[in-house]
Amino acid sequence: MGPYRKHLSGDMAFRSFIPTPLSEIRIVHTDRLDKLIMELEDAMRRLSTYAAQLSDEQVLQFMRQEAESSCKLASGEQPVSFALGMDDESMEDAANLLKATLYALEAMDELPLSARLLKNAHYLICKSERYAKKYPGEFRNSPIWIGRKGSGLNDALFVPPVYEDMTNAFSDLERYIHYEESENVFVRAALIHYQFEMIHPFIDGNGRVGRLLNTLFLIRQDAVGKPILQLSDVLNQHSFQYYMELQRLNETGNYEQWIDFFLRILKNAILRIVR
């Protein structure tokens, strides 16, 4: 669990989160965790075998479905059949996320999985008049907060790191993505997802970028061959627990419980496609 930094005083006082560097986290591998990892590795191999048989158009359809599910989760919509349709704004967001995903997959041939690549993807995700004042493609330089409607910095449920702490934490995250090789790839994916969401580097669109980061990381690590994983759909089915587990980790520092949850979500996302 990261410490908090105090700001201002009196009625204006607030605390911002400082993420613990992932390089300092040591995960205790229990029999339960190792068994789950083995099940996940087997499921992911079957997914890659299945994906290798798909046409480009079939892969694109999986990517389109993931983009739609990710946008539904971002907007707080309950998962429903795609046949029921989406409103115009949701359709535009899903189309932009798909474009960003296609860009990022191609860009990884030349760019590392880095702030630059994610900023470029964020620009495409937020390429709409609705996001014009939310600095598409740029990290935020002012505090933001998460809380009930009408809340402010001083009574928010969660205040992500302020600019200096945010940039330091993101640099550490980049190092972890590229240089940590001793931990299992799926455990790393769980930690990377948590850390990105806690850093919250953009004013808006962090959830969509964070879920895209998961896909890109697993492909970069050769854990899955093609981007057909339906992670957002399963997270949407368990959205309340998902947000509760993130908050619980902030409060308890129990990374093992978060990893158990995330790996089971990942396994369920695979089993939606292959059995």
Q: Is the pLDDT of residue 11 over 90?
A: no
**CB–CB of 205/135 below 8 Å?**
no
pLDDT digits (tens, 9 = 90+) for 55-110: 999 999 999 999 999 999 998 754 433 334 567 788 999 999 999 999 999 999 99
pLDDT digits (tens, 9 = 90+) for 30-61: 999 999 999 999 999 999 999 999 999 999 99
**177 vs 179: CA distance, rounded Å:** 6
Q: How far is CA 266 from CA 183, 231, 235, in A?
A: 17, 6, 9
Measured over the CA atoms of residue 44, residue 178, residue 247 and residue 38, the dihedral's sign is: positive
Mean pLDDT of 110-138: 95
4-8+31-271: what fold? Fic-like fold (1.10.3290)
**CB–CB of 162/5 below 8 Å?**
yes
**CB–CB of 210/194 below 8 Å?**
no
**CB–CB of 97/127 below 8 Å?**
no
**CB–CB of 36/267 below 8 Å?**
yes
**CB–CB of 22/172 below 8 Å?**
yes
CA angle (77, 78, 81) in 5-degree steps: 110
